Amino acid sequence: MSIKKKLSVFFTLLVLCILLANNTLHYIRSKNRLIEFNKKEITLVTEEIAYEVENSKNSASYMENRMAQELRTASIAIQDSLPADYHDVSNDQLKRLAKKLMISHITLLAPAGDDIIGVKSSDPKEINMSTKEWGYWYTSFRQLLSQQTITTKKGVTLPHFWSGPIEVASSNPNHIDKWGYYYDGSTNYIIDPYFRDRHVLDFEKRFGPTNVMNRFTENLEGVLELTVFNPKNFGKRNQNVYLNGNKYIKIKDQPIWYGTYTYRNTERDKKSIQEVLKTGKSQSYLAEINHKKVLKTLVPIKEKNTPAYVIGVVYDYGLIEKELQQELIKHLLLSLPFIFIVLIISFIFSTSITRPIKHIMEHVNQIAKGNFGKVLNTRRKDELGGLVANINHLSHFLKTYVDDLKKSQEESEYHAYHDFLTGLPNRRYFKEQLNRRLIESKEKSIRHVAVLFMDIDRFKDINDTLGHSKGDQLIQLIANRIKECLPSANSFLTRQGGDEFVILFSDFTPEEVKGITEKIMAYVQQPCYIDNDEVFVSISSGLSFYPEHSTNLDTLITYADVAMYASKRQGGSKVSIYHDSLNKKQAEKVHIETRLRKAIQKGDIDVYYQPKIEAKRNVITGVEALVRWNDAELGFVSPEAFIPIAEEAGLIQYLWEVVMKKACSQVSEWNKVSDEKMTLAVNFSPRQFQDPVVLVNEIKHFLSLHRFDPAWFEMEITESTLLMNAEETIKALHLLKKYGISISIDDFGTGYSSLSYLKKLPIDCLKIDRSFIQDIQEDYSNSEIAQAIISLSQSLKLEVIAEGVEEEYQKAFLMKNGCDHMQGYLFSKPLAAEDFEEAFLNS
Ligand code: C2E
Ligand code: MG
Ligand code: MG
C-alpha cells in the first residue's frame, strides 16, 4: 500500500476512532444524564405521589369524619323513626328508612348471649351476622352498649356514636362499606346505618391518590405504571379474614394500596422493597416485563404519622434507548461532514507529503542508477526540505566522488601504462604493444619488428652531479629528443624506468632501424642545457630483431638489453645488434662475479705496483697499487672487466680492503729500506663514497694499522666520485686532507668537472687520462687536451701527472710542457711486489 493511501487510511481510522470514542463517551454521558434525569423525575413523581397519598389520606380521614357525622345524624333520625325494641322493627321498614335517609343500608345490632348480632337489616346478609370475632369492632360495640367511653382509638367517636374505618364488608366481601354505630340506651339495639360501595368509592375516586397516579401515568412521558406498595404484605401470602362464612382481605392488609401492578415481577420487587426499607434508599433495576424493557424504581416513603410504604415507578426504558439512539444518530450524522472534511484534509496533507516523497524517490532512483549531480528544487523549509537538501548534497558529493574516482581510475590506468616523468608508455604498455605488433606481424605478414634498447651512459653520475630534479629534467629532455627523431608511424617509444628507453619498430628494415638509432644518438649527444648547466650526454643502444633473433617477446626485449650492455662495455655511445656471443658475455659476467667472490674468500686477489716517475730526476716518487686477479679457471681478468662487476655485486669494499692491507704493508716495508720514500696511490671506487664518514674512519684504521704515514698516501678518485653525493664527499675529502692524505683526480678530462668547481675542492693533483696521452702523436699533434690540462693544473696550482705514457716523444712532450710526473709502460708495467723489488729496489 502506498504511503499516500496509508496516510489517508490512517487519518480516517484515527478520526473514526476519535469520533467513536467521542460518541461512546457522549452516549454513556447521555445515558447517565438521562438516567439521572429519570431518577430526578422519579423522585419528583414519587414525592408528588407521596404528598398526594398523604393528602388523600387526610382528605379521606376528613371525609370519613364527615361521613361519620352524616351517619350519626341518620342514626338519630332512625332512632326517632323506630320503636325502642327491635322486635317491633321489620326489615322492610329499615329498607324504606334507608332509602328515605339516602344511605345504603340500616342494620340493627343487639346483644345475644356473649355475642352481638345483626337482628334486623335492610341487607339480608347482615341478619344474624355475628360480630363476636370482629376484634376492636366488637370491643367498641360492647363499650357503646355499656355507655362507656370508647377506647379502641380507631374510627370516629362522637357522643353515643362510634364509626369504624372504611372496610370490606365481612357480611359480603364484594362490598366496601362505611358504618356508623349509635346507642344512647333508649333502645335495645345499636343502630348501624352505612354507606356502601358507590358512596364510599366515589369519595375515594374523587379524593384518593389513584387520581393523581393516573394523572402522572398519563401525563408523564415514559411512566407506564405507578404503584403504592404495602411493604408489610407485598409478596406474602394473602392475610385473609374469615368472618360470617366469608373470606376477604382487610383494606390495610392489601399488598397494593393504590395504583396498578400490571408490570409484575413479584419476587424481584419483593426483594427490592425489602432492600429499600432496609437502606432507606431507592432501588432501580432494568427488566423486560410484559414484552417491554422497563426501568423499575422503588422509592421508600416515610411519613411521620403513617407507617412506611414504597412507591413503584415503571419507566419505559425503550424511551431512554430511543432517545439515546436518536442522540447517537444525530451525533453520527453530525460527524459525517467532519469525517468528510478530515478525509479531504488528510488527502491534501498526505499528497503534500507523498508528492515530494515521490519526487525524492524518483531522484533517489536516478542516483541509484548512477545519474548523480541533478538538483531537486524545493522551497520547503521542513524536514522534507532538509531531506531534499541532503539528497542534493549527497548527489553532488557522489557526482564529485564518482568523477574523482573515474578520474583517478583513468589516472591510475594511465599511470599503469605510462611513465610518470615523461608521460611515455611504460614497460607494461610496451609489452602489450610488442605482443600486439608480433601478432599483427604474423597476421599481416609484416616482415620486420625491431626492439631498440637505449640507456644513457653514466647517467648515475650525471644524476648525482646535477641532483635528482635536474636529472629528471634531463630524462625528459632526452625523451623529447628521441621522440623527435622517430618516424611518426610504426614506431613506439617507451620508458622502461631509470634512464632506459625502449623503442618498438614495425615494418622497418634493420638498416632503417639502425639509421634511426644513430640519428637519435647523434641528436642526444648535442649539448643539453638544464637551467644554467651544460650537460653532455651519450647513449648506449642495443637492437634485436623479430623474427631473426627470436619470436618470443620477452626474449626479444632481453636481447636488445644484452646488446645495449655490449655497447656499454665498449665504452658507451655505441649501437650493438644482438648476436648470440653477447648473450654469452652476460653469462660470463655472472660467472666472473661468482669466481671473484670465491677469489676474495680464498685470498686469490693480488696487488701490482706501477711506479710513478719524476722524469727530470728519473726517480720513482711513488707507486699506484692496482688490483690483480689471476683466476685458475678464467686466467687473468682485467680490473676493467671485474671492477664494474665487483661494484655492481657489492664486492668493491672487500677488494679495496685487500688492496689496502697488502699495499700499505708492502709499501711501508719498502719505504723502511729505501733511501727515497715512495707515495702509495690507491684507486677508490665512487661507490665507496656512499658513506664518506665511514670511509674516512676505515682509511685511518688501515693507515694506523700499518703505521703508514698519511703524508705518503694518495687517493685516486675519478671526477664522477667528486660530483657524487657532493657535499658529503667534499666534507670527507677535507677531513682526509686534514689528516695528511693527498687526493688525485684520476682519468682527468673524461668527466664533467667544471673548472670553478675544481678550484673549491681539496685536491692536490690532476692525473691526465691515458687516452689523451696516447692521442699525442710524434709530431705533438692531438696534444691539445693534454696541454690544456697541464695549463689548467698550473693555473690552479695543482700537481699534474700523465698516465699511459708509452712513448719517448710523449714523455718529451710532457716534460716540455711542464708535466714532470709520469706513469706508463714506458717506465714500467704494473708489477708484482717481488718483480717491483727486483726491478727497482734491489739496484
Ligand atoms: P687507472 O687507475 O687509470 O690505472 C691505470 C691503468 O692504466 C692500469 O690498468 C694500468 O695497467 C694501465 N697502464 C699503465 N701504463 C699504461 C700504458 O703505458 N699504456 C696502457 N695502455 N695502459 C697503461 P689496470 O691495472 O688494468 O687498471 C685499470 C683500471 O682499473 C684502473 O685505471 C683503475 O681505474 C681500475 N683499478 C685498478 N686497480 C684498482 C683498485 O685496486 N681499485 C679500484 N677501485 N680500481 C682499480
Ligand atoms: Mg688509477
Ligand atoms: Mg687512470
- What CATH number should be reported for the domain holding residue 312? 3.30.450.20
pLDDT in tens, 431-489: 787 777 777 777 776 678 899 999 998 888 788 777 888 889 999 999 999 999 999 88
Confidence of residue 760 (pLDDT cuts 50, 70, 90): confident
Q: Using CA atoms, how far apart are residues 722 and 757, in angstroms rounded to an integer?
A: 10
Task: Output 362 or 122, whichever has higher pLDDT.
Answer: 122
- Whether 387 is covered by a domain: the verdict is yes
Mean local confidence (pLDDT), 208-226: 83
Q: Which ligand is nearest to the CA of 769?
A: 3
Same domain, 437 and 572: yes
Same domain, 573 and 607: no
In this prediction, residue 725 carries a pLDDT of: 64
Residue nearest to atom 6 of ligand 1 (CA): 804
The pair phi, psi for residue 97, each rounded to 5°, is -60, -40
Q: Which of 554, 578, 602 is the last residue of a domain?
A: 578
- Whether 694 is covered by a domain: the verdict is yes
| Position in ligand 1 atom list of the atom nearest CA 685 | 44
Confidence of residue 162 (pLDDT cuts 50, 70, 90): very high
SS (H, E, C) 17-59: HHHHHHHHHHHHHHHHHHHHHHHHHHHHHHHHHHHHHHHHHHH
Confidence of residue 776 (pLDDT cuts 50, 70, 90): very high
Burial of 638-665, coded b for 16+ CB within 10 Å and e otherwise, reads ebebbbebbbebebbbbbbebbbebbbe
In this prediction, residue 264 carries a pLDDT of: 92
Q: Which of 547, 578, 609 is the last residue of a domain?
A: 578
* 106 half-sphere exposure, CB direction, 13 A CA radius: 31
Looking at 14-23, 163-172, 262-271, 713-722, which range is the least confident one? 14-23
* CATH code of 427's domain: 3.30.70.270
- Whether 467 is covered by a domain: the verdict is yes
Task: Output 176 or 417, whichever has higher pLDDT.
Answer: 176
- Whether 833 is covered by a domain: the verdict is yes
Instruction: Establish whether residue 638 lines the binding site of ligand 1, counting it when its CB lies within 6 angstroms of any ligand atom.
Output: yes
Instruction: Establish whether residue 715 lines the binding site of ligand 1, counting it when its CB lies within 6 angstroms of any ligand atom.
Output: no
- Whether 34 is covered by a domain: the verdict is no
Task: Output 319 or 813, whichever has higher pLDDT.
Answer: 813
Provide the percentage of residues in the chain whose pLDDT is more than 70: 97
In this prediction, residue 768 carries a pLDDT of: 95
- Whether 50 is covered by a domain: the verdict is no
Instruction: Establish whether residue 626 lines the binding site of ligand 1, counting it when its CB lies within 6 angstroms of any ligand atom.
Output: yes
The helix or strand, by DSSP H or E, that contains position 522, with its residue range, turns out to be helix 510-524
CB of 213 within 8 A of CB of 226? yes
Map residue 259 onto helix, strand or coil: strand
| Position in ligand 1 atom list of the atom nearest CA 806 | 18
pLDDT in tens, 588-620: 888 999 999 999 999 999 999 999 999 999 999
In this prediction, residue 753 carries a pLDDT of: 66
Q: Using CA atoms, how far apart are residues 841 and 843, in angstroms rounded to an integer?
A: 6
Q: Which ligand is nearest to the CA of 687?
A: 1
The rounded Å distance from CA 682 to ligand 2 centre is 7
In this prediction, residue 724 carries a pLDDT of: 67
Mean local confidence (pLDDT), 174-197: 92
* 1 half-sphere exposure, CB direction, 13 A CA radius: 8
Which among 683, 684, 714 is the best mutation to test ligand 1's pocket, defined by most ligand atoms within 8 Å of the CB?
A: 683
Instruction: Establish whether residue 749 lines the binding site of ligand 1, counting it when its CB lies within 6 angstroms of any ligand atom.
Output: no
Q: What is the CA radius of gyration of the chain?
A: 76
CB of 359 within 8 A of CB of 351? no
Same domain, 686 and 542: no
Same domain, 571 and 604: no
Same domain, 529 and 662: no
* CATH code of 671's domain: 3.20.20.450
Which residues does 322 contact at the CB level (< 8 Å), separation at least 6? none
Confidence of residue 241 (pLDDT cuts 50, 70, 90): confident
Same domain, 830 and 690: yes
The rounded Å distance from CA 585 to ligand 3 centre is 25
The rounded Å distance from CA 812 to ligand 2 centre is 22
| Among 408, 417, 566, 573, CA closest to 495 | 417
In this prediction, residue 49 carries a pLDDT of: 77
The rounded Å distance from CA 738 to ligand 1 centre is 27
Range of the domain at 281: 206-319
Q: Using CA atoms, how far apart are residues 356 and 366, in angstroms rounded to an integer?
A: 15
Q: Which of 319, 335, 359 is the last residue of a domain?
A: 319
The rounded Å distance from CA 792 to ligand 1 centre is 23
pTM: 0.45
- Whether 811 is covered by a domain: the verdict is yes
336-342 long-range Cβ contacts below 8 angstroms, 24+ apart: 338/15, 338/19, 339/12, 339/15, 339/16, 339/19, 342/11, 342/12, 342/15
The pair phi, psi for residue 733, each rounded to 5°, is -60, -40
Residue 450, exposed/middle/buried by CB under 10 A (0-12, 13-18, 19+)?
buried
Mean local confidence (pLDDT), 632-657: 91
| Position in ligand 1 atom list of the atom nearest CA 718 | 34
All three cell numbers of 718, joined, read 675519478
Q: Using CA atoms, how far apart are residues 134 and 152, in angstroms rounded to an integer?
A: 12
In this prediction, residue 212 carries a pLDDT of: 77
Same domain, 677 and 537: no
In this prediction, residue 182 carries a pLDDT of: 95
Give the chain's domain count. Answer: 4
Residue nearest to atom 19 of ligand 1 (CA): 804
Instruction: Establish whether residue 464 lines the binding site of ligand 1, counting it when its CB lies within 6 angstroms of any ligand atom.
Output: no
In this prediction, residue 306 carries a pLDDT of: 65
Per-residue CA distances from 291 to 224, 226, 287 (Å): 13, 18, 10
Confidence of residue 305 (pLDDT cuts 50, 70, 90): low
Same domain, 532 and 671: no
Q: Is the pLDDT of residue 731 over 90?
A: no
Instruction: Establish whether residue 685 lines the binding site of ligand 1, counting it when its CB lies within 6 angstroms of any ligand atom.
Output: yes
The rounded Å distance from CA 528 to ligand 2 centre is 30
Q: Which amino acid is at 72?
A: R
Looking at 35-49, 509-523, 645-659, which range is the least confident one? 35-49
In this prediction, residue 609 carries a pLDDT of: 97
- Whether 120 is covered by a domain: the verdict is no
Q: Using CA atoms, how far apart are residues 70 and 547, in angstroms rounded to an integer?
A: 167
| Position in ligand 1 atom list of the atom nearest CA 639 | 30
The rounded Å distance from CA 771 to ligand 1 centre is 12
Same domain, 271 and 374: no
Instruction: Establish whether residue 397 lines the binding site of ligand 1, counting it when its CB lies within 6 angstroms of any ligand atom.
Output: no
| Among 468, 453, 465, CA closest to 565 | 453
pLDDT in tens, 169-184: 888 888 989 999 999 9
| Among 464, 456, 476, CA closest to 530 | 476
Confidence of residue 643 (pLDDT cuts 50, 70, 90): very high
Q: Which amino acid is at 360?
A: I
Same domain, 781 and 801: yes
Same domain, 663 and 568: no
Q: Is the pLDDT of residue 342 over 80?
A: no
Mean pLDDT of the chain: 87
Residue nearest to atom 12 of ligand 1 (CA): 804
Same domain, 556 and 466: yes
The rounded Å distance from CA 824 to ligand 1 centre is 10
| Position in ligand 1 atom list of the atom nearest CA 638 | 26
